[in-house]
Amino acid sequence: MNFAFLPDLSALTVLIVILLLVRRRHPGPRANAWLLGLFLTLVEELAHTFYPQNGPPPAIFHIIVVDCYVLTGALFIWAAGNQKLSRNSRFLYLAVNTAALLALTTLYGANLPMSPAYLLAISAGIIVGVASSLFVRQNWLYASLFTLGWILVAALAEHDMLRQAVYWSLACVFTLAALAFDRHLERRSTGKLAIVPGLSLWALCFALHPWVVKYPAYADIASHVLNMQIALVAIGMILVLLEQQVSTNQWLALHDELTGLPNRRMFAAKLDLAIERCNREKGSLALVVLDLDGFKKINDSLGHLAGDHVLREISTTLRRSVRSSDTVARLGGDEFIIMASDMDNEKSLQRFVESIRGAIERPIDVHEQAISVTASLGIAMYPADADDAIKLLRVADQRMYFLKRRPAQQSQVDTGMAALSPPA
């Protein structure tokens, strides 16, 4: 057993534990793939400790090492993500192409000489690569690149250059992972500055491996460089998860977690900006406060999960019912608010409010039954009703509660303020 690998194993184990602790705060498919990839790297490092100081490695440990490299690279590509493909399509694409490369590395890891099995694995790689590129990705360029890559592997294998064929293939896999992270991580991400160079160095180590093994004096240097970039990638992953946690916290501070709509704090800021714009441009805006009628009965009779479903459906409906320049927010509970600019006259405002009311009253499927929801609406105009945000909100709120107390008038949509104003 080669105990020289134990410090590296210990360091990698510590990084995996840290990543696991961070992942508990920010779970997700990407974090799971990273953890599994680093765990496979740990398995590969452990298998390396059983390599003899001199002579070829035992076949079983050699297979574990090269196969772990392939699976780690594939997991990192998966973790980078590709928004153009669905999750199932990405999995299928990576799985079939990884299986073809695994067949090649397993044959190589078993220290088998050139045989028809290699040609069978290479042929399968070409067929799978071309077919998956055309039918899953629908991309002729990827199909051409797979064909050229596997033809190069076949040429190297034919000339008994199996090590070059395998390790240059691994270099391509990790280069693809580096490119994927470079493309899909945010440009300002600090973790990206560690992950992309780390994966690039990893690919470079694989590309130089066939040359390094011929010069044992450089083997230790190459081993340290490899371990350095593994640590670099792990640190980068931890940084990305922490950045995502910060971003999530910032988002939650300004949005309603259940519906994804802006919350009261964000809406207040938007309202202040809108009023400033109205003052500059001598414009106007409408504020519509709405409260769902009988929502408590839904919670009591169907449960809070059903109530949450109704709130999410209402929020989606409201988002679709307003213009892109308007703002919809959830104030809390079953109360929503809409800010609409450029309401030039009473008729346009009435049409706008009627469209909102009609959208809300569309049936919602809950537990396989259709539920119709109504709402009480309070409307206030700036600057006709108030000269600042606080007063405007108060007027709209008072009118909404005035209608809620008088159900017979809920069908009225009167923007003239006498009919909707609460009694003095």
Mean pLDDT by 10 residues, the chain (424 residues): 71 86 75 88 88 82 94 91 75 91 93 83 92 89 91 89 92 93 88 92 90 74 74 87 83 90 93 90 88 86 88 90 89 91 78 86 83 88 88 91 66 41 41
pTM of the model: 0.71
pLDDT at 20: 85
Q: Is residue 296, in this structure, part of any structural domain at all? A: yes
Residue numbers of the domain that contains 344: 264-420
Instruction: Judge if 410 and 281 occupy the same domain.
Output: yes
Longest dimension (CA), the chain: 97
pLDDT at 420: 42
CB-based burial, 2-26: b 16+ in 10 Å, e otherwise: eeebeebbeebeebbeebeebbeeb
Select from 254, 274, 291 the last residue of a domain. 254
Instruction: Judge if 159 and 299 occupy the same domain.
Output: no
pLDDT at 350: 84
pLDDT at 339: 93
Instruction: Judge if 48 and 176 occupy the same domain.
Output: yes
Instruction: Judge if 246 and 189 occupy the same domain.
Output: yes
Q: How far is Cα 248 from Cα 27, in angstroms, rounded to an integer? A: 12
Q: How far is Cα 344 from Cα 353, in angstroms, rounded to an integer? A: 14
Task: Establish whether 334 is a catalytic residue.
Answer: yes
pLDDT at 422: 45
Continuous segment of H or E residues that includes residue 382 = strand 375-382
| H-helix segments, 159-303 | 162-184, 190-212, 219-254, 264-281, 295-302
- Which residue is catalytic, options 334, 342, 344, 388? 334
Cβ neighbours for 162, distance < 8 A, ≥ 6 positions apart: 108, 114, 118, 156
Total number of domains in the chain:
2
Q: Residues 17, 101, 78, 234: is their CA dihedral positive or negative?
A: positive
